[in-house]
């Protein structure tokens, strides 16, 4: 957190910044941070999913923050989820058509909980990410990098739009079967590349995923639908599929997410902002995913 604060003293990028820290008389470390609004999970639980415009604003801001985090600081967050995206303010507005409370326009957010982030030198065989936002390469012990953050963003964006978890499970085998129902078949070559004994046991001798036997798991798998059936907007669907690509080299990076046509359509003002990649000529190339 101190590294983030020192690297961005002008607060150009929407990451949580500590203001100061100190030890009290008993030796306890105290960290002072700004007061922000609710996390995005609390918002959708209270007010429902976000509109396309507000969602595009969230996508843009998180993309700018992650592009800086990945490309400039060479850090991986490892635990992106709606609880770790905070609104900057508690202010709300009222939609004149629906009379519902809505976020301010623009909806400004911050990525928080940076304490678990790691750099490129970190062992990438460890289990990271909260279960529902965990990438397949983490589950199977295939090694992970910046792209695991982008997988988490795909799951988050789906949830912020639908109000529902994409992968509501706590079991590895069920999780992989749900991926196949929502995104298509997992790459067959993964069966022979699993990095842990636990992951290898998810496949049979023929290199196929073992079937689920738990009735509750089977029921959830049966109810699962392809992402394209649940997200009717073509551009949003393209964005989510791009972030949930099985091939990490083809998965969208943070800068590509920021500049995606979905953002351009629903938040066209982003193109004029100083934080837009086109307006930052000294940008470093995105890192290898």
Condensed to tens digits (0 to 9), the pLDDT of residues 272-287 reads 999 999 998 777 878 7
Q: How many domains does the chain have?
A: 1
pLDDT attached to residue 133: 99
Which two three-digit tokens encode residue 254? Answer: 């943070």
Of 42, 72, 59, the closest CA to residue 280 belongs to 72
Cα 212 to Cα 192: distance, rounded to the nearest angstrom? 20
Cα 27 to Cα 25: distance, rounded to the nearest angstrom? 5
Cα 166 to Cα 225: distance, rounded to the nearest angstrom? 10
CATH code of the domain covering residue 226: 1.10.510.10
Predicted TM-score (pTM) of the model is 0.95
Chain mean pLDDT for the chain: 94
Which two three-digit tokens encode residue 135? Answer: 């990438």
Any bridge partners for residue 87, and if so which?
Answer: 109
The secondary structure element, H or E, covering residue 136 is helix 136-139
Residues 6+ apart with CB under 8 A from 30: 21, 22, 23, 24
For 110-132, how does the pLDDT look when each residue is reduced to its tens digit (9 = 90+)?
A: 999 998 899 877 766 678 999 99
| Residue 62: inside a domain | yes
Residues in the chain: 289
**More reliable by pLDDT, 7 or 175:** 175
Of 84, 109, 114, 107, the closest CA to residue 17 belongs to 114
Cα 259 to Cα 34: distance, rounded to the nearest angstrom? 29
Judged by DSSP in three states, 167 sits in coil
204-217: b or e for each residue (b if 16 or more CB lie within 10 Å)?
eeeeebeebeeeeb
**For the chain, how are helix, strand and coil distributed in percent, rounded to 5?**
45, 10, 45
| Residue 105: inside a domain | yes
Rounded mean pLDDT, 231-241? 98
| Residue 199: inside a domain | yes
| Residue 28: inside a domain | yes
Range of the domain at 200: 2-259
Q: Cβ atoms within 10 A of the Cβ of 100, count?
A: 12
pLDDT attached to residue 123: 60
| Residue 273: inside a domain | no
Residues annotated as part of the active site = 79
């Amino acid at each position: 957190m101190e590294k983030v604060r020192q690297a961005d003293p002008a607060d150009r990028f929407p990451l949580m910044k500590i203001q100061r820290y100190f030890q009290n008389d008993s030796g306890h470390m105290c960290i002072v941070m700004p007061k922000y609004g609710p996390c995005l999970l609390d918002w959708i639980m209270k007010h429902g999913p976000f509109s396309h415009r507000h969602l595009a604003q969230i996508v843009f801001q998180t993309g700018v923050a992650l592009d800086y985090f990945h490309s400039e600081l060479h850090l991986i967050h490892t635990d992106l989820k709606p609880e770790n995206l905070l609104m900057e303010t508690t202010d709300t507005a009222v939609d004149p058509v629906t009379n519902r409370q809505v976020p301010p326009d623009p909806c400004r957010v911050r990525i928080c909980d940076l304490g678990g982030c790691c750099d490129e030198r970190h062992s990438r065989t460890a289990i990271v990410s909260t279960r529902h936002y965990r990438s397949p390469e983490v589950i199977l012990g295939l090694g992970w990098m910046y792209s695991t953050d982008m997988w988490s963003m795909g799951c988050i964006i789906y949830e912020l739009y639908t109000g529902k978890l994409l992968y509501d499970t706590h079991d590895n085998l069920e999780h992989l079967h749900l991926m196949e129902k929502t995104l298509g078949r997992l790459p067959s070559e993964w069966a022979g590349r699993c990095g842990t004994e636990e992951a290898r046991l998810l496949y049979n001798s023929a290199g196929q995923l073992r079937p689920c036997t738990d009735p509750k798991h089977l029921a959830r798998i049966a109810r699962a639908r392809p992402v394209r059936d649940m997200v009717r907007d073509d551009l949003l669907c393209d964005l989510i599929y791009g972030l949930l690509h099985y091939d990490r080299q083809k998965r969208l990076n943070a800068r590509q997410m920021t500049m995606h046509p979905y953002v351009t359509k629903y938040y066209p003002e982003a193109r004029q902002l100083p934080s837009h990649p086109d307006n930052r000529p000294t940008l470093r190339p995105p890192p290898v995913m």
